[in-house]
């Protein structure tokens, strides 16, 4: 939760403090910028979160997902046999910049032949706030036998950690066909499989 303080221009007194449920994760080291749009609305961006349009009550009108630490895999996923680009966020921790996130909210596939974005996946804002995004996204062998490679990743809800439900209902494997169709999304395991 972020707090934005609004000050009067005359005497710089704080006359209002707004709470915003942003994706910055309350990182104390994040750097923020605010751009007023009109009397009631402003843009909020930070060095770790998504771009948000908010009003003075803290309501978020829209959010634009952050794509950072870009990592690209070349693999044939769509179109002709030309290699395509799977665009995601790197998961390698940069020791010099702990501001960098290590998960993907968005993944993109760019068709190697047309150079156009073939499809993209964007995790819903509320789900991203809870789960921190997709981890370990990578291309895998062709599992739906359409002649193209496919993609796998997982989501893990931090609320599950340490609560005895680390591999609970909300923590899921997600597999995409190379063409963007979700092939399955299911818990990594469940009680019966433990047994």
Look at residue 151 and give its three-state secondary structure.
strand
Q: Do residues 47 and 23 make contact, with C-beta atoms less than 8 angstroms apart?
A: no
User: x/- contact string, 154-193, with Ca ion (CB under 5 A)?
Assistant: ------------------------x---------------
Q: Which is nearer to Ca ion, 141 or 191 (CB)?
A: 141
**Interface with Ca ion, residue 148, by CB under 5 A:** yes
Q: Which is nearer to Ca ion, 45 or 175 (CB)?
A: 175
Q: Which is nearer to Ca ion, 45 or 86 (CB)?
A: 86
C-alpha closest to that of 115 among 148, 88, 78: 78
| Choices 10-18, 60-68, 124-132, 147-155 (CB under 5 A): range interacting with Ca ion | 147-155
How many angstroms separate the CA atoms of 135 and 104, rounded? 7
Q: Do residues 66 and 27 make contact, with C-beta atoms less than 8 angstroms apart?
A: no
Please list the residues that pair with 86 across neighbouring strands: 73, 109
- The residue with tokens 């707090």 is 3
How many angstroms separate the CA atoms of 110 and 11, rounded? 51
Residues 48 to 87 in contact with Ca ion, rule: CB under 5 A: 76, 79, 82, 84
Residues 110 to 129 in contact with Ca ion, rule: CB under 5 A: 112
Record the tokens describing residue 56, joined without a space.
């003075």
**Interface with Ca ion, residue 40, by CB under 5 A:** no
The minimum distance between CB 177 and Ca ion, in angstroms, equals 5
The minimum distance between CB 190 and Ca ion, in angstroms, equals 26
How many angstroms separate the CA atoms of 20 and 31, rounded? 15
The minimum distance between CB 150 and Ca ion, in angstroms, equals 4
Q: Which is nearer to Ca ion, 113 or 130 (CB)?
A: 113
Strand ranges (DSSP E) for 8-50? 14-20, 32-36, 41-46
The minimum distance between CB 166 and Ca ion, in angstroms, equals 30
Q: Which of 47, 71, 144, 187 binds Ca ion (CB under 5 A)?
A: 144
Q: Which of 46, 150, 156, 175 binds Ca ion (CB under 5 A)?
A: 150
How many angstroms separate the CA atoms of 20 and 28, rounded? 15
Residues binding Ca ion (CB under 5 A): 76, 79, 82, 84, 112, 142, 144, 146, 148, 150, 178
């Amino acid at each position: 939760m972020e707090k934005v303080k609004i000050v009067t221009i005359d005497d710089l007194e704080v006359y209002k403090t707004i709470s915003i449920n942003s994706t910055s994760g309350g990182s104390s080291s994040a750097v923020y910028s605010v751009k007023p749009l009109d009397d009631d609305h402003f843009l909020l961006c930070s060095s770790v979160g998504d771009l948000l349009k908010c009003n003075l009550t803290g309501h978020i009108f829209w959010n634009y997902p952050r794509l950072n630490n870009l990592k690209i895999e070349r693999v044939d996923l769509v179109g002709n046999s030309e290699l395509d680009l799977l665009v995601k966020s790197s998961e390698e921790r940069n020791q010099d910049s702990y501001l960098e996130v290590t998960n993907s909210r968005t993944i993109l596939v760019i068709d190697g032949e047309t150079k156009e974005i073939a499809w993209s996946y964007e995790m819903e804002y509320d789900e991203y706030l809870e789960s921190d995004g997709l981890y370990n996204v990578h291309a895998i062998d062709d599992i739906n036998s359409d002649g193209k490679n496919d993609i796998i990743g997982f989501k893990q809800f931090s609320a599950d950690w340490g609560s005895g439900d680390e591999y609970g209902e909300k923590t899921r494997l997600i597999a995409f066909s190379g063409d963007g169709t979700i092939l399955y999304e299911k818990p990594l395991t469940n009680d019966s499989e433990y047994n």
